[in-house]
Structure 1
Amino acid sequence: MNRPRYFTPREVSRHCLPSDLWVSYLGLVYNLTPLADRHRGDILLKPIIDAAGKDISHWFNPKTREIKTHIDPQTGCVKYYTPQGRFLHISPCFPCSDWDTDFGRPWWKDNTYQIGILSSKTRFISIINTLTSQEQTLEVCGEETIWEILQRYLPYNAHAASYTWKFCGFPLDMDKTLKENGVQDEDWELEELRMDCDVHTPSLHLYFNDDLTEL
């Protein structure tokens, strides 16, 4: 399927180094490692490095998708609001002859850094291999299809596509999400009952087929 990949906030948080720098904002995930490489040593890169692995949606106006602005009380002029410190492609708050404006599109508007979508709701599921009795618990994106969940499971079983995936005894439609397959998200009900959502996870059962397929 030709559609963007979904990421969990936990996956984004693992990329928190200058040499491996991801951020998320306004529902999307960006790999800013090339930006960090290109501007290595620049002091204006520091706020971005400090935000590595985090969601920075609070930097933006959600309606305009631009960096937030405010009125400078000293000058009365509109300026970018950057309490975390001025960063790359943000103009100085005063006239400056040595600021290079020839950088093209600001990094936050450059879609070449975009690598996927941040999941709006993640879920934990258990995957039980009925052939080997092995069980794995995975955090998945609620928007992912079963086929995409299978891709996450491959490190634990390279032959995952050689199994029939079932829930409560019924085969799952691999092109549909968990919810579309009737695997409901009951987190809110468990929270109301003050039960641990991470302990009460739905289980998918894998039944081995005759063919042996390796992806």
Structure 2
Amino acid sequence: MAAKIPTPEYSKLSGKEECKHLPAPYKMRRYYTPAEVEVHNTANDCWVSFFNRVYDLSILVQDNRDSEQSEPIIAAAGTDITHWFDAKNRDPVTYIDPTTNTRVYFCPQGRFLHVPPIGPDSSWDNEFRIPWWKNEKYCIGSLTRKIRKIRIINTLTKHDDILEVCSEETLNEILDRYIPINQHADSYTWKRLGRPLDMEKTLDQNDIPDETEEYIDLGIDEDEYIPAIHLYFNDDLTVA
């Protein structure tokens, strides 16, 4: 599966200034692990997750670098911020202000971008139309609901690697994760216990179930047994 490399558009940056603040290119995926979100934890490279979706807010933050309302977002970069929002309407959590007896947004880390001030404020810019937490242009994929580990054994080179993958990913998407380790990974036949795998299906759909819960129930370290996939080079005459 071909991965896309995003090209952020920094509306208020140009030339050397743009290069200075431009985050490193990355591959777009359908699903990301929490560890993948965690490494994007700076003002220049700012990812967050909430409600099992992943958002790249780098452009938003850079376009508002001089605003104090960017600071809570920068401080939360690389983390899950679902607790900032109401599960029913997906807007920031609110509470009744005891002083004014009115409903206001609850921002314990400080008021963040697109949250209106409590009282009248002529400096507040409300021309954004769609608040960033509901703007799909910032969403780059979903956060996996379950991480899985898989061993990939190359029968040609004898390399044995363990990958952390998303349970929702197909074998082709897992192959894409394996490419940095073996650039010729798509030149191999992927098998489990001698059975060729369907690269368009997930691990579960290929009868490679997630047994970690059973191991935990038995008091066994889940890393004691990680299911293996064997790779056979397609020029190998032993490949069926």
TM > 0.5:
yes
1:205 alignment partner, SS class: strand
Gaps of 5+ in 2: 3-27
* Larger strand proportion of the pair: 1
Residue 184 in structure 1 maps to residue 209 in structure 2: yes
- Opposite residue 201 of structure 2, the aligned amino acid is K
RMSD: 1.6
1:4 to partner: Cα distance: 6.0
Q: Which residue of 2 aligns with 1:29?
A: 54
Equivalent in 131, 137, 144 of residue 162 of structure 2 = 137
| TM-score normalised by the chain length of structure 2 | 0.84
Distance in 2 (alpha carbons) for counterparts of 1:25 and 1:171 = 37
Q: How many residues align?
A: 211
- Of residues 55-64 and 195-204 in structure 1, the stretch that sits farther from structure 2 once superposed is 195-204
Q: Give the unaligned 5+ runs of structure 1.
A: none
2:223 is paired with a residue whose SS is coil
Which range is displaced more, 13-22 or 1-10? 1-10
Secondary structure of the corresponding residue to residue 46 of structure 2:
strand
Relative to 1, partners in 2 of residues 1:111 and 1:11: Cα closer, same or farther, differing over 3 Å?
same
Runs of 4+ in 1 over 3 A off after TM superposition: 1-4
- 2:82 matched to 1:73? no
Spell out the pairing of 1:35-184 with structure 2 (5 A cutoff).
35-184=60-209
Structure possessing the higher relative contact order (Cα contacts under 8 Å, 6 or more residues apart) = 1
Deviations 1:130-152 (A, max 9, x none): 11100111000000000110000
Matched, 1:15 2:25: no
Q: Deviations over 1:15-61 (max 9, x none)?
A: 00111110011111010000111011321111100110001111111
Identity of paired residues, percent?
52
TM-score by length of 1: 0.94
C-alpha separation between the residues in 2 aligned to 1:50 and 1:4? 24
Q: Which amino acid aligns with 2:83?
A: H
Q: Structure 2 counterpart of 1:46, which letter?
A: E
SS at the partner of 1:15? coil
The farther-off stretch of 148-157 and 66-75 is 66-75
CA distance in 2, matches of 1:73, 1:192: 47
The alpha carbon displacement at 1:99 in A equals 1.8
In 1, the alpha carbon distance for the partners of 2:156 and 2:29 equals: 33
